[in-house]
Amino acid sequence: MERILASIVVIDDVAPIPGADLIEVATVKGWKLVIKKGEYQPGDAAIYCEIDSFLPVTPDFEFLRKSSYRKMGDTEGFRLKTLKLRGQISQGLLLPVDMLNGHVHTLGEDVTAKLGIIKYEAPIPASLAGIMKGGFPSFIPKTDEERIQNLSGEYDTFRTHPCYVTEKLDGSSVTYYHRDGEFGVCSRNLELRESDDNTLWKVARKLDIPGKLAALGSNIAVQGELIGEGIQGNPYDLRGQTVYFFNAFNINAGEYLSMPAFLALMQELTLQHVPVLEETFLLPDTIGELLSFAEGAALLSPANKRVEREGLVIRSADRRISFKVISNKFLLGEA
């Protein structure tokens, strides 16, 4: 699903920042952002743009040039990143609804395209991009996780479910499947043709994933995070590349395996899964506390270096609840 980067929101709260006279902190769902004092009041409607928004170069957004001008390929724009101002984390941007030029808006409405906003994405190296064989198979869901800040309405229900907490690895998504005798390899959005130098295929061959999936004798997909040299700057300082899995999908049934069934399958196939930190975790009272819990050292940190983990992915055993909690420390350290 395309990410909704800009939408109509109601400001939930506005509070002072200790020691700051000219700015204050607004709460929008599970997000906190710094605003000019008096700019918005609780209950006001506004446009909220999430981090990773790439806003077009237009007069409306020129005020962002100094802080946010960036190129994405050949396209110029303004990129919204996580900031810290006077000790306060600030994520995203509020804009007045007037900017929609009288367009009649509704709460929750997606105005991303209307404002010409696209998602800021770093370029993908050729060894990962590969050569397209086809679109992403329609019989497998793409990998994705929603951010907890956008699920504040559901948070209290989530709290009644014991959850698996896994570490979110900072790499590149891969899907391997076996279906009716055929083996396939897919990146985030495409199925890839077999080649000698494509990293996704290399790792498949090295770990004998085609053989292992075929031996199961059923139609199945496994999804994981590729990490290592040439991927996301190799934060874990690995040699070569490998994969840590986080999903198994039963293609015939059209459903994911539960977390316990997935972990058992990984053991049976002798494949690595993402690190599991907790198996019966109960969420803390607030999203703020959960965001603090997401900060920490990556379990794959190299021996002499503490690497901040990207965050956590939290799921109920049946997987009906599943979301990511990105570490703000990680985001503040991003290029």
Binding site for ligand ATP (CB under 6 A): 3, 52, 119, 143-145, 166-169, 173, 225, 246, 274, 313, 324
Minimum distance from residue 9 beta carbon to ligand ATP (Å): 18
Contact 315, 321 (CB under 8 A): yes
For residue 191, the partner it binds in ligand ATP, Mn ion, none, with Cβ less than 5 to 8 A by kind, is none
Among 15-23, 144-152, 253-261, 312-320, the segment contacting Mn ion (CB under 5 A): 144-152
For residue 329, the partner it binds in Mn ion, ligand ATP, none, with Cβ less than 5 to 8 A by kind, is none
C-beta of 23 vs 242, nearer to ligand ATP: 242
Which residue in 60, 76, 144, 182 binds Mn ion (CB under 5 A)? 144
What is the residue-wise DSSP string for 243-272?
EEEEEEEETTTTEEPPHHHHHHHHHHHT--
Contact 281, 299 (CB under 8 A): no
CB atoms within 10 A of CB 242: 17
Per the DSSP assignment, residues forming a β-bridge with 8 are 47
- Residue for token digits 């499947």? 177
C-beta of 39 vs 279, nearer to ligand ATP: 279
226 vs 241: CA distance, rounded Å: 7
334 vs 312: CA distance, rounded Å: 17
Minimum distance from residue 226 beta carbon to ligand ATP (Å): 9
For residue 168, the partner it binds in ligand ATP, Mn ion, none, with Cβ less than 5 to 8 A by kind, is ligand ATP
Minimum distance from residue 7 beta carbon to ligand ATP (Å): 14
C-beta of 24 vs 92, nearer to ligand ATP: 92
Minimum distance from residue 22 beta carbon to ligand ATP (Å): 31
C-beta of 168 vs 329, nearer to ligand ATP: 168
Among 166, 170, 172, 171, CA closest to 185: 172
- Report DSSP state, residue 127: H
- Residue for token digits 């991003």? 334
C-beta of 14 vs 209, nearer to ligand ATP: 209
Classify the phi-psi angles of 55: left when phi > 0, otherwise alpha if psi is within -120 to 50, otherwise beta.
beta
Q: Which residues bind to Mn ion, rule: CB under 5 A?
A: 144
